[in-house]
Chains A and B, each alone.
Chain A
Amino acid sequence: MDHLTRLENKSIHILREAYSEFKSLCMLWSVGKDSTVMLWLARKSFFGHVPIPLVHIDTSFKIAEMIAYRDRLALKWRLDMIYGQNFKALQEKQTFPDGNCTRLQCCKLLKTEALINTLSGNWPRYRLNHDTGKYELDHNREPYSGVIVGVRSDEEGTRSKERYFSPRGKKSNWDLADQPPEFWNQYKTDFSPGTHVRIHPLLDWTELDIWEYISREKIPTVSLYYNQGEGTRYRSLGCAPCTRPVESTAKNVAEIVEELKTGQFSKIAERSGREQDKEDGGGLETLRVDGYM
């Protein structure tokens, strides 16, 4: 068995465990390359179906093409698509692009807060109606007790310390100094009321694995990842004001795989184009301990 197939099978196993063991389960889909690979793996796990709702946190500052791509795939693959948003912060213009807070505060409000309150059902959720193609207020406000997230351990320091099944406290906080043991394909699927579990099927994947798999499976991705003739492309996607492209001539998946193999980026952190990380002292720890992905 080649190594991509091995990774694929392990991830499928994890997704199926999550599906069996969590009654109220969702998958976060940022529409980036990693969570799209994860979505593809869900289709593999469930033989073409995706029996898990997909949750997208819309900061309203995402690059426009990302939202269009999200809805196109959601309709095509018949996904149970849900989004949540921090309407209050956006209304009051408590954002970095509006000049009213730092990048980190903005991330906390538009992403972490929106995520926590969308997952808990405290804030409204909007669900895609496949008949009309429009989003409608979702009446189901049940908190999600299992949340599948596409983080990879090679992305940055704290993510390398994650478990496949990682508990979050009542305030969605992560106690990384006291994590439960995890061994022999047995995962933490029991949790006390009010807490939830984050599930990480892509933990063992690297950036190159992701691209090789996209290439092998022909998974559709957003064109922002490719050089459109300007000599740049996005390596990691986030909000427009805080994400910078990298210099690259790669115009398609095969060229990205080649580019990564040559080691051109091997010494530059993948998230180096994500400005909020820098404000967090070079890592995501502050954000992640509070509930960020």
Chain B
Amino acid sequence: MTAVNLEGNRLAEGRENMHIAIVGHVDHGKSTVIGRLLADTGSLPEGKLELVREFCRRNARPFEYAFLLDALKDEQSQGITIDSARCFFKTEQRNYIIIDAPGHIEFLKNMVTGASRAEAALLVIDATEGVQENSRRHGYMLSLLGIKQVAVLINKLDLVDYSRAVFETVMEEYRVFLEKIGIEPPCFIPVSGMQGDNIAALSEKMPWYRGPSVLEILDAFEGEKPDQDKPFRMPVQGVYKFTRDGDNRRIIAGTVEAGTLTVGDRVIFYPSGKMSRVKSIEAFNESKKDSLSTGYAAGFTLAEQVFVSRGEIATLAGQLKPGVTSRIRANIFWLGREPFRKQKQYLFKLGTARIGATLEEVVKIIDASSLAVTRKDYLDKHDVAECILKLDRDIAFDPPDVLVQTSRFVIVDNYEIAGGGIVEEALADIHQATREKVHLRNIKWEKGCVEEEERAERYNQKPTLVLVTGKKEINRKQVAKALEKKLFEEGKPVYFFSMGNLLYGIDADIKASVKNDKKEHFRRLAEVANIMLDAGLILIVSVIELTREDVRQLGLGVNHEKIATVWLGEEVNTAVDIDLHIPETFSQDKTVATIKEYLQKKGIIFKPW
């Protein structure tokens, strides 16, 4: 019946917590099963049972264990669970946090929310109704969410006279479905939530079933194991330097998703490819440590300072490299009110990275219940599909078989998380050659003895590439030069550079007329900018009608956080995110003053103290 080992699994000391999701079709009795688990393990607060009995009496409804959970007033009146409530109980082995996920199709996003926190799941199917649409859909979602330990409870056996035949028919139908989606046949338990059969203990009424009870199967599930043996991965949450009270540490902070990190290790940050060495492990109110392992929300300092920012993933040199690309193939489930469609700009979040994204292609849509494959070029709410996404910048990730934590992402539409997905594969994009050059350049880069921060403090500015752009007839160069003069007069190390200045020197070996060379032209501009910024300068470059692709190209060679864009005059739609728009009606002086004010506000030039 079950391959789960029930013996030899006892924890000696210390309490382990386990999150268990309970899912299934609406009205199949999930809440009743939980209510019963709570009652039978003596986990209810005093008076709670009486309160609910009283509620039922007043409202002339039969008492149900389910009401124990439906703590919210409007839920009790509707009789359905609308969100994932959590409740706690414990066995001798460990503490359980049961997440009651709603079965109603309308609340799939709540089911996903609840189930994604779980390490294992109970899936409830009503024996009288058999396998229903959401029984299958939820099973499919569990596999997408990556929950591998699932027990199927076939419920309401009391209503079918505890029939073994009914149990086995439902079990067989569901087992076939699970096999199709690649889930190993889990354990099936015949239960009655209402009567308490096979929940806390095996029932006399089903002598034909001698597998585990629900409580036993819960205790047999295995807790999350840290991915210690996998390559080191730590998405950077922030780079902290809190100088108050004389603290000079510059700390790279994040949570270790896999692997270990030791003082002295060579770390490489992706997607930038910047490399340094670990100087120290940092923590507060803890004894000094020399290494960090999986699961720790940690921090470390670097021996040589390199510019890294939130969104990069720290990895170890010599271990498997993460994928870096701006085009991916992914499996996506869509939860948004509005469909997921092409030509619309979305926000893509993986690890700590946030990047603009568009849907390039829907490869196929899979019906999560019938498993039929259809084709559409957009995703409706609750669709599950294989898609190709195009990102505005490079992303670092791992395929799910390497590390699932760094392959999962969400998509934000109109301020809301509207979809989730798993990156299956990095696809070729047009930036591959440039990216490889930049990575090699970063790894080989030799630094002097002056740190970037020391330069910034000396010059009172953050090195930045300021792109002054606008339509052809606007006098961008004049503004760019006036801005250079203004900042120079205020003592700032600043340099104006015309795109044309590249053509006959650095670009002398390529023909500007050949269309493909525009990419190479921008690559070289980015390399020049990178050197000047590394020297601590503010570099002002004027460009005609800057496009998203131009910024993308420059962003390969210069960190996107070091680029500021200013659009002069009438806007044209070149689909580029501009930091500052300046109306045509502004005089040159006012334009320059506005740009200066913006640079101050963004902390690029520091106000004189």
- Give A contacts to B, CB under 8 Å: 1-3, 6, 8-10, 12-13, 16-17, 19-20, 43-49, 51, 78, 153-154, 156-158, 160-161, 163, 176-177, 179-186, 188, 190-192, 204, 206, 217, 266-269, 281-283, 285
Contact = CB atoms under 8 A, between A and B. Distances in A.
A206 B45 contact: no
Given A78-B245, A184-B116, A186-B349, A44 B283 contact: yes
Contact of A183 (B14, B44, B86, B112): B112
A6 B71 contact: no
B45 A268 contact: yes
Contact of A154 (B88, B112, B244): B88
Contact of B86 (A153, A181, A190): A153
Contacts of B297: 8-10, 12-13, 16, 45
A184 B410 contact: yes
Given A3-B17, A47-B284, A180-B417, A16 B73 contact: no
Chain A, interface SS category: loop
23 contacts: A3-B14, A12-B297, A16-B297, A17-B237, A17-B352, A44-B285, A47-B240, A47-B242, A47-B283, A49-B242, A177-B74, A179-B113, A180-B109, A181-B112, A181-B417, A183-B410, A183-B417, A184-B405, A184-B408, A184-B410, A186-B410, A190-B416, A283-B73
Contacts of A204: 17, 97
A44 B297 CA distance: 9
B226 interface: yes
Nearest to B100: A160
B417 A188 contact: yes
Contacts of B296: 1, 9
Interface stretch (B25-33, B211-219, B248-256, B439-447): B248-256
A217 B74 contact: no
Contacts of A182: 113, 116, 417
B14 A158 contact: no
Given A160-B85, A176-B72, A181-B110, A190 B283 contact: no
B201 interface: no
Contacts of B335: 181
B365 interface: no
B116 A46 contact: no
Contacts of A45: 253, 297
A183 B113 contact: yes
B51 interface: yes
Contacts of B401: none
B131 interface: no
B411 to A, nearest CB: 10
B337 to A, nearest CB: 10
A160 B69 CA distance: 10
Contacts of B45: 266-269
A112 to B, nearest CB: 18
Contacts of B17: 3, 6, 204
A60 to B, nearest CB: 31
A131 to B, nearest CB: 14
Nearest to B335: A181
A260 to B, nearest CB: 12
Interface in B319-361: 335, 347, 349, 352
Interface string B223-266: 00010000000000110101011010101011100000000000
Given A20-B237, A158-B72, A192 B116 contact: no
Contacts of B403: none
Contacts of A9: 255, 295-297
A191 B415 CA distance: 5
Interface of B: 14-17, 44-47, 51, 71-74, 82-88, 95, 97, 109-110, 112-113, 116-117, 145, 226, 237-238, 240, 242, 244-245, 247, 249, 251, 253-255, 282-285, 295-297, 299, 310, 335, 347, 349, 352, 405, 408-410, 412, 415-417, 420
B416 A188 contact: yes
A93 to B, nearest CB: 32
Contacts of A181: 109-110, 112-113, 335, 417, 420
A288 B16 CA distance: 31
In order of increasing CB-CB distance, the 8 nearest A-B pairs are: A157-B71, A183-B116, A267-B46, A12-B297, A181-B109, A49-B242, A9-B297, A190-B415
Q: Which of A13, A17, A204, A269 gathers most chain B CB within 10 Å? A: A13
Given A181-B109, A269-B45, A47 B255 contact: no
Contacts of B110: 179, 181
Given A49-B244, A49-B247, A184 B420 contact: yes
Nearest to B242: A49
Nearest to A282: B51
Given A20-B352, A49-B242, A281-B73, A13 B237 contact: yes
A190 B284 contact: no
B247 A48 contact: yes
Nearest to B413: A190
Nearest to B251: A47
Contacts of B242: 46-49, 51
Given A9-B297, A184-B116, A190-B415, A161 B84 contact: yes
A140 to B, nearest CB: 16
A177 to B, nearest CB: 6
Contacts of B16: 3
Given A48-B247, A204-B97, A6 B85 contact: no
A285 B72 contact: yes
B517 to A, nearest CB: 39
Contacts of A2: 14
Contacts of B46: 267-268
Contacts of B417: 180-183, 186, 188
A78 B295 CA distance: 30
Contacts of A161: 71-72, 83-85
Contacts of B88: 154, 206
A267 B85 CA distance: 19
Nearest to A183: B116
Contacts of A191: 415
A188 B347 CA distance: 12
Given A12-B297, A160-B71, A190-B412, 16 more contacts: A1-B295, A3-B14, A3-B16, A3-B95, A13-B297, A20-B310, A45-B297, A47-B240, A49-B240, A78-B244, A154-B86, A177-B83, A188-B417, A190-B347, A204-B97, A217-B285
B73 A285 contact: yes
Given A9-B295, A183-B410, A47 B112 contact: no
Q: Which of B45, B84, B412 gathers most chain A CB within 10 Å? A: B45
Given A13-B255, A16-B238, A20-B237, A160 B284 contact: no
B97 to A, nearest CB: 7
B295 A183 contact: no
Contact of B295 (A6, A46, A51, A281): A6
Given A44-B283, A160-B85, A283-B71, A183 B352 contact: no
A180 B14 CA distance: 35
A46 B110 CA distance: 32
A225 B405 CA distance: 41
A107 B465 CA distance: 53
Contact of B416 (A156, A163, A180, A206): A180
A183 B310 CA distance: 20
B282 A47 contact: yes
A20 B72 contact: no
Contacts of A163: 113
A267 to B, nearest CB: 4
B284 A43 contact: yes
B283 A16 contact: no
